[in-house]
A = this chain, B = another copy of it.
Amino acid sequence: MFKRHPLNPLITTHSFNPSRPDFEIVGTFNAGATTYNGEVLLLVRVAERPVQTDPDVVLCPYLEDDGELILKPFSRADERYDTSDSRLVVDRHTGATLLTSISHIRLARSQDGVHFQGEHQPWLSPTPPYENFGAEDARVTQIDDIYYVNYSAVSAHGISTALASTTDFKTANRLGIIFPPANRDMTLFPQRINGQYVAYHRPMPSGFGRLNIWIATSPDLVHWGEHQIVMQASNDGWDSGRIGGGAPPVWTEKGWLSIYHAADHQNRYCLGAFLTPLDEPGRIIAHSPKPILTPEAPYETNGFFSNVVFTCGSILQGDLLRVYYGASDQVMALAEASVNDVLASLEPVS
C-alpha cells in the first residue's frame, strides 16, 4: 500500500552543516512536517556530537543551566564510568547519565516535498533547565493561523513534552512543559473538538504500567487534563513492546486518521494506523492489524539505531498521503499511499 519514494533517503547527515565547527552531525531524523507559504517544511531533529579527536576519550556535550554548552571528557580507561554504549556515558556509582550527542530542531524546505534544502542555523536550540540534553522529535500542528510545535525536552530532570508556537517559522514562542516526565510522542489535533483542544500523548510509567497511547484535553493548549487510555500495546507481536503517537491526526470524511509507531521487544519499530470518529477522538473504531510500514530498505535496517521507521508528521494532498519518517535514527525518508486505500485497509474494532 505504501510506496517508498525512489529518492529515499531524502535527508541525510550531509544535508546540513553542523551548528559548531567542532561538532559533527550523526543523525537527521524524526521530523515534523507541515506546509507553509506553498512550501513543505520539515522540522528535523539534528543530532550532533563533538568531533572525537582522541579515541581514548569520549566527549559528552552538556548544556549548563547558565546556557553554556560544555564538552565533558571521559577517559575510556576510567572505571568509574561505563562508556560501552556509544550513545551514553553512565556514572557506575550514581547512575547519572550523559548523552554523547545533543539534538536541536532545524528546518528543511522544499517546493515539491521531495527535494529539501536544509537551513544553516538551528530553528529551536535546546535551552536550560529542561533541555540540557537536547530538544528532540518535533511535531507541528496548524490551528487557525498558528503553528504549534511540540517536542521532547530531555534533561537530567527526565524526558518531558514541551510546546512552542510560531506564525513565521522564524521565531519560536516557548510555552513550557505541558506533560511532565516521563512523557513524549504527543500528537496535537488540528482543530478543537467539542470546544477543547485535544492531543494524544505517551506517558512512560515506572513500576506498574506499559507504554500506551493516552488522550488529553485542554482549554488553552498549556493546561491539560481528562487523561484517558486510547490504545494499549499488545501482548505479543509487532506492537508488544511499546506504542506511541506518530503523525498528528489527519481529518478525513471517515474520521481522524492517525499513523502511529509500535515496537516489539526487540526494539523493531514499525508504523500502524487507526481511525476514530470525528467527534470522539478517544474511541478507536478501526485499526491496522498488521504494520503499514516495516523496516525493510537498507537505510531502515542499518543505521545509528537499526530497524526503525518512526514518523512525526505527514501531509495530505488530495488523496495522496505523504508520510515523512525517520529511518534507523539517522535519515529522513518518504512513503506515499492513497489515503482511501489506507482507510479501506483498516479493520473495524468492536
Contact yes or no, A209 B157, CB < 8 A: yes
Which of B176, B217, B235 lies in contact with A227, CB distance below 8 A? B176
Complex Cα distance A154/B205, Å?
11
Contact yes or no, B208 A205, CB < 8 A: no
Cβ of A229 within 8 Å of any chain B Cβ, yes or no, is yes
Contact yes or no, A180 B223, CB < 8 A: no
A135 to chain B, nearest CB (A): 14
Complex Cα distance A219/B157, Å?
25
Contact yes or no, B129 A227, CB < 8 A: no
A226: chain B residues within 8 A (beta carbon): 176-177, 222-223
With A178-B227, A219-B220 in contact, is A155–B206 under 8 Å at CB?
A: no
Cβ of A335 within 8 Å of any chain B Cβ, yes or no, is no
Question: What would be 22 A-B contacts, judged by CB atoms less than 8 Å apart?
Answer: A94-B235, A157-B212, A158-B203, A159-B207, A159-B209, A160-B227, A176-B226, A176-B228, A180-B183, A180-B203, A180-B216, A181-B205, A182-B203, A182-B209, A204-B207, A219-B219, A219-B223, A222-B225, A222-B226, A223-B225, A224-B224, A224-B225
Contact yes or no, A225 B183, CB < 8 A: no
Complex Cα distance A336/B229, Å?
42
A182: chain B residues within 8 A (beta carbon): 182, 203-209
Apart from A159-B208, A177-B225, what 14 extra A-B contacts exist at CB < 8 Å?
A94-B235, A155-B208, A156-B209, A157-B212, A158-B203, A177-B228, A178-B227, A180-B183, A180-B201, A180-B203, A181-B209, A182-B207, A219-B219, A223-B226
Contact yes or no, A157 B218, CB < 8 A: no
A229: chain B residues within 8 A (beta carbon): 129, 157
